[in-house]
Amino acid sequence: MTSWKKGVFSLVMVFSLICLASVASFSQPTTPASTTVKEIEGTVKVAVGKYIYVPEAQGLDIILAGEVQGGLENLVGKAVRIKATVLPDRANLIVADSIDLKQGDTYQNVYTRSGEPNYDTYFSQRVRDEYVALNITGINKPEEWEGKTKVKVYGKLEKSVVKEGGTEKEITHIIILDKKGKELARVIVDNLTDYAKFYLAKLRLFDKFWFYLNVKEPVDKKIRVRTKELFHADVVFCGLY
């Protein structure tokens, strides 16, 4: 066989082997991504919305996707056994697959996962840096907060009743404090997400922390001077930093 024929033959063989390898690889059954399941035994300390906190989960929040027999709030203070799936894209969250309530020496199932969780109120720790810490020094310096849509402020939550016309309504404020604990200004809270309420309950031993806010409309200057209210906002998260 001449040298050029040998060369052509070699190229044909190499190409054939590549094709056969490709066919073989596509013919192999694909292995689904493995999931990590955790088993937790402990006591439910907080239950808000669809979230529960069990200290034995070691820093992981637990989200539910289904109904709990007797209601979620009735789990508080109860000993439970939980099987949960780790969520790789949500570092501090796991989804409960089943919850068994301890009764004496046995367990009774009170929850079974029925679908995918709803993450509409979940606050990802990855977006914390998007929220700018406001340095408020006075109510007459709007440049300190105007134009910002995602902020965090340090202070405490306060509820009060105000009169509007002939009726009374409850209003919630965040009281922004200076380093000495003196009131500087107020933020009107229009809404707290379930996840924010969940963390408020987890932080019940503290009365001051950082509130992560989605800023809404500002308060008119004339009202601001009288009430110290800067703007309306929705609270999406709160924490110690």
Alpha carbon distance 143, 207 (integer Å): 28
Sketch the domain layout of the chain as residue ranges.
37-112, 125-239
Give residue 31's pLDDT: 34
Report the alpha-carbon distance of residue 116 to residue 202 in Å, rounded. Answer: 24
The pLDDT of residue 231 is: 97
How many Å apart are CA 216 and CA 226, to the nearest integer? 20
Q: Are 1 and 10 in contact (CB under 8 A)?
A: no
**Nearest Cα to 59, choosing from 73, 75, 79, 40?**
40
**How is domain 37-112 classified at the CATH fold level?**
OB fold (Dihydrolipoamide Acetyltransferase, E2P) (2.40.50)
The two domains 37-112 and 125-239 share their CATH topology (first three levels equal):
yes
Per-residue pLDDT at 91: 84
| Rounded CA separation 155/131 (Å) | 16
CA distance 54 to 45: 6
* pLDDT at residue 28, as a whole number: 35
**pLDDT reported for residue 34:** 57
- Give 125-239's CATH code, choosing from 1.20.120, 2.40.50, 1.10.10, 2.30.29: 2.40.50
If you ran DSSP here, which 8-state letter would residue 131 be given? Answer: S
Tens digit of pLDDT per residue, the chain (241 long)? 544 334 433 433 433 332 333 333 223 333 344 578 899 999 999 999 999 999 999 989 999 999 999 999 999 999 999 999 999 889 899 999 999 999 999 999 999 999 999 999 999 989 999 999 999 999 999 999 999 999 999 999 999 888 777 788 899 999 998 888 889 999 999 999 999 999 999 999 999 999 999 999 999 999 999 999 999 999 999 999 9
Element (H, E) at 5: helix 3-27
